[in-house]
Amino acid sequence: MRIAMFSTKPYDRRSFEAANGAHGHELLFLEPRLTAETAVLAQGAAAVCPFVNDELPAPVLAALAALAASGTRLIALRCAGFNNVDLRAAARLGLTVARVPAYSPHAVAEFTIGLLLTLVRGIHRAHQRTRDGNFALDGLLGFDLFGKTVGVIGTGRIGALVARALAAGFGCRVLAQDLVPDPALEALGIAYADLDAIVAQADILTLHCPLTPATRHLLRAETLARARRGMLLVNTSRGGLVDAEAAIEALKSGRLGGLAIDVYEQEADLFFEDLSNRIIPDDVLARLLTFPNVVVTGHQAFFTREALAAIADTTLGNATRFAAGEPLGAAEVTEAAMVPPKP
């Protein structure tokens, strides 16, 4: 099957070429992001493989569907999230959408713990200081994680690992929120509560739910106003969960004691690129980068050898099954996936 891959980097080429030995697809590595203008590059490809910041609203899907004569029928996302796809339009246009439901939840969970510790202990600042010969500790005072209250929003694959590490590993009191509580976490003493109750008590809040219409700006001015003063916020899930402008106001007032983000709502034009010789056009991100208690990484939580290998293998496996007319199982994303399950 000929697969047109958008937004590819050299590391994508390496992992997909290595995994393709077992699948034998014809891979077309394209650097541009997928847009209505670039969709035409998929001409002749039976499948299109977008990444996390490619946007697939109805016009882009329509442009792809217009290539149907040449056989484009499958959108094989090489990521877990699918908030960037208009699933209703895809269904209407007869395009099947697949994703990588789970590749390495460990990659994201471990990175989350890394960001959390960086923020709590000021490791980002210490790193900069010591490289400048400054070994003073003033301003680096942290706190023990042991005994602190951490809120975990979304206890699916990633959130459950984070909650376990914090409760069983660090001795934190973990409060969780999910549409479906996980009895295995409850057995560890993790209590489920609603968001308001959690933010009122949490020293740290970490986000692991998907971005849906219901979760967009879950953390906004009103939510932050109810937060315990000085709460630290960690977001490795999706940028749209946090209203970044409200977070800036909360950081300025001290309501938020720190922010660590691997994702940012307007990241699509910024992340995954080297902009170090350019002026950052996004004033909100530029402001965030000025705070000493803000850590920003460029959507790298997934970026481990194991995760890249699993992403490539699952994505190509989805294409192989689709070409053989086999069901895609949990990898297939339908409109129904947008509807949250009932508790």
Contact 25, 45 (CB under 8 A): no
Contact 79, 311 (CB under 8 A): yes
Least distance in angstroms from the C-beta of 280 to ligand NAI: 20
Q: Which residue is nearest to ligand NAI (CB)?
A: 156
Least distance in angstroms from the C-beta of 271 to ligand NAI: 10
For ligand NAI, give the closer residue by CB, 108 or 242. 108
Least distance in angstroms from the C-beta of 38 to ligand NAI: 23
Query: Burial code of 191-225, b = ≥16 C-beta within 10 A, e = fewer?
Result: ebeebeebbebbbbbbbbbbbbeebebbbbeebbe
* Distance from the Cα of residue 233 to its chain's centroid: 15
Among the listed residues 305, 293, 301, the one whose alpha carbon sits nearest the alpha carbon of residue 114: 301
Residue 331: φ, ψ to 5°: -75, -20
Active site residue 299: yes
Q: Which of 23, 173, 238, 255 is catalytic?
A: 238
Active site residue 208: no
- Give the residues lining the site for ligand NAI (CB under 6 A): 80-81, 102, 105, 108, 153-159, 177-180, 208-211, 214-215, 236-238, 262-263, 299, 301-302, 340
Active site residue 267: yes
Least distance in angstroms from the C-beta of 198 to ligand NAI: 10
For ligand NAI, give the closer residue by CB, 198 or 316. 198
For ligand NAI, give the closer residue by CB, 47 or 333. 333
Q: Which of 267, 305, 321, 335 is catalytic?
A: 267
For the chain, list the strands marked E by DSSP: 2-5, 26-29, 47-49, 74-76, 96-98, 149-153, 173-177, 191-192, 204-207, 231-235, 256-261, 294-296
Least distance in angstroms from the C-beta of 35 to ligand NAI: 21
For ligand NAI, give the closer residue by CB, 159 or 258. 159
How far apart are alpha carbons 182 and 196 in whole angstroms? 20
Residue positions annotated with a catalytic role? 238, 267, 299
